[in-house]
Chains A and B, each alone.
Chain A
Amino acid sequence: MLIELDDVRRTVGLVLGRHDPNADDRLVEDLGAESIDLLNIVVTLEEKYGVSIDEVAATGVSTVRDLYDLALKSPHAAKPSADPGRPA
């Protein structure tokens, strides 16, 4: 499945019970995520996109956008194409 920033935002919002978080919101400071929430977000993204997110890198994530970037870098990630006409 293609990883899209909007979809990662929605996933974070669903796990945290927050409506429409911004890409640059910080997961802990701005959205109030606890450690179990962060774990749930990572596992949800892994299951949804079939990726494997590294523990050390996941711990260093600050914002929703960081999380998206990390998911994109993960093995087996399906990346969105810069050129919409080109298959991802």
Chain B
Amino acid sequence: MTMPPQNPAPPRASTRKLAGLEHAMRITEEHTPFSVVAVLRLAGDLSPAALRRALDTLQQRHPLLRARILPAGKEYAFHFDAERPIALDVGERPPADGWIAVAQEEMQRRLDMTAGPLARCRYLAGPSGGDLIFTLHHTIADGVSGVHLFRELLALCAGQPLDEPPDRDEGQVPAAGLFPDDYTGLGYTLAAAGFMRRQMADEMAFRWGSIGVRKAPIAAAGRCCFLPIRFGAEITNALIQAGRRHRVTLNAILSAGMLMAVQRQLYPSPRVPLRHIVFADLRPRLRRDVPASALGCFLTMYRFTTTVEATRDFWSFAGDVQDSTMRAARSSERYMAYAMSPGMMKMLFRMKAFRMGATALSYTGPLTLPTDYGRFEVTGLHAFAGNMTLGPEYSALVRLFRGELWWDILYLDSDMDAAGAQRIAHEMQAILEGATC
């Protein structure tokens, strides 16, 4: 199955240095596979031949699907000249939740950074549908561009035309190259100094508050394990309505539920500072529009410490989580956290003395992927982002799909077993259900 590229959309430059969070992700790849594994659950008839053709067309369309990453001095650069096609393995669909084990295997298997492409596909075909497992390196996709890519892939599989031309600038400029004018030159230097000051203050507060509190273990190795759960339409709607009454966003509500559950299950102290990570899309806040159709990772992450108290009222705590997120968003943090993440990752791996956080949550809102493609339909979408033993203990990607909240929880087997992860999930659901009463 070779794919000689026919008239591929040419990138304007043949190489481009990685920057900010992209660079941090590539540094992480030195220690652990850092991919995003997405699983499209399909009902109906999708032929492997149609999938092969669609993957080839996609690869011609997207320079980042023809990218590989090579060292460039002490840094790394994308080279848009990977020659191999996107690998497609076709196998038999395992029964029930058998896709979870296969997707976990995919997370463990590294993509070949130097040869590329930074994507591969596995299709588990059954008599009445299949599971399409797409592995992408995190440097080339995030929640927004990833979902758009799947939209294109499925449309091509169904023989539908794509409604947008390829983006000629895809892969050419990192988010850091599009920061608003306030965060360039002297503005950048001042913002970076402010960011460092806030980070140091947060570190001091965290260390002071953590005296006598359980310290998260740092294992030599750990395997990513997946736990997908769903909140039904009733609790989902109740959370949305309660959030409106209390003026708290769904992102903050879910983060608060996760933090409280982790505190109850992993940190027995009545009052414990925990570090939480949330993610935000930089696209709407850049100097020029970056369309969702352009592959790339335009994420940033906010990391903050919040004190979780066993007896605290849920809504007051969720309000605090929201305030912490908004403080970060309204300061320069969204840009500085992106730009300065390579330094943080280097320090993290050099010292191996602390973990990035206890929890991490990425709520991407309603899924914008059409589900009906004629001969087949999407019945579910799962996505998991890689983690490591210096990363958060409990993390999740969450989205709203068909009126329900789909949680894709990820934990490491060096931190807990499946029963332990399940206990935290149950605790979280109980906390959030209780909050709607």
Tell me the A residues contacting B by CB distance below 8 Å: 26, 28-29, 34-36, 39-40, 42-43, 46, 55-56, 59-60
Residues of chain A within 8 A of B284, CB atoms compared: 26, 28-29
A56 contacts B366, CB within 8 Å?
Answer: yes
A39 contacts B249, CB within 8 Å?
Answer: yes
In the assembled complex, the Cα of A59 lies from the Cα of B250 at a distance in Å of 12
B240 contacts A36, CB within 8 Å?
Answer: no
In the assembled complex, the Cα of A46 lies from the Cα of B250 at a distance in Å of 17
Closest-by-CB residue of A relative to B330 is A34
B243 contacts A60, CB within 8 Å?
Answer: no
B366 contacts A60, CB within 8 Å?
Answer: yes
Tell me the B residues contacting A by CB distance below 8 Å: 240, 243-244, 247-251, 284-285, 289, 322, 326, 329-330, 365-366, 368, 400
A42 contacts B251, CB within 8 Å?
Answer: no
In the assembled complex, the Cα of A58 lies from the Cα of B251 at a distance in Å of 15
Counting residue pairs across A and B whose Cβ atoms lie within 8 Å, the total is 36
Q: Which of A28, A35, A40, A55 contacts B240 (CB 8 A)?
A: A55
In the assembled complex, the CB of A76 is this many whole angstroms from the nearest CB of chain B, namely 16
Residues of chain A within 8 A of B289, CB atoms compared: 29
Residues of chain A within 8 A of B368, CB atoms compared: 60
Residues of chain A within 8 A of B251, CB atoms compared: 35
In the assembled complex, the CB of A62 is this many whole angstroms from the nearest CB of chain B, namely 10
In the assembled complex, the Cα of A88 lies from the Cα of B391 at a distance in Å of 57
In the assembled complex, the CB of A14 is this many whole angstroms from the nearest CB of chain B, namely 15
Q: Which of B247, B285, B366, B400 contacts A36 (CB 8 A)?
A: B247
Residues of chain A within 8 A of B365, CB atoms compared: 59
**Apart from A34-B329, A46-B244, A59-B366, what are 14 other A-B pairs with CB-CB below 8 Å?**
A28-B285, A34-B326, A34-B330, A35-B249, A35-B251, A36-B247, A36-B322, A39-B248, A39-B249, A43-B247, A56-B366, A56-B400, A59-B400, A60-B368
Q: Which of A29, A39, A56 contacts B247 (CB 8 A)?
A: A39
A-B contact pairs, 28 of them (CB 8 A): A26-B284, A28-B284, A28-B285, A29-B284, A29-B285, A29-B289, A34-B326, A34-B329, A34-B330, A35-B249, A35-B251, A36-B247, A36-B322, A36-B326, A39-B244, A39-B247, A42-B244, A43-B244, A43-B247, A46-B244, A55-B240, A55-B250, A55-B400, A56-B366, A56-B400, A59-B365, A59-B366, A60-B368
Closest-by-CB residue of A relative to B403 is A56
A39 contacts B366, CB within 8 Å?
Answer: no
In the assembled complex, the CB of A50 is this many whole angstroms from the nearest CB of chain B, namely 14
In the assembled complex, the CB of B159 is this many whole angstroms from the nearest CB of chain A, namely 27
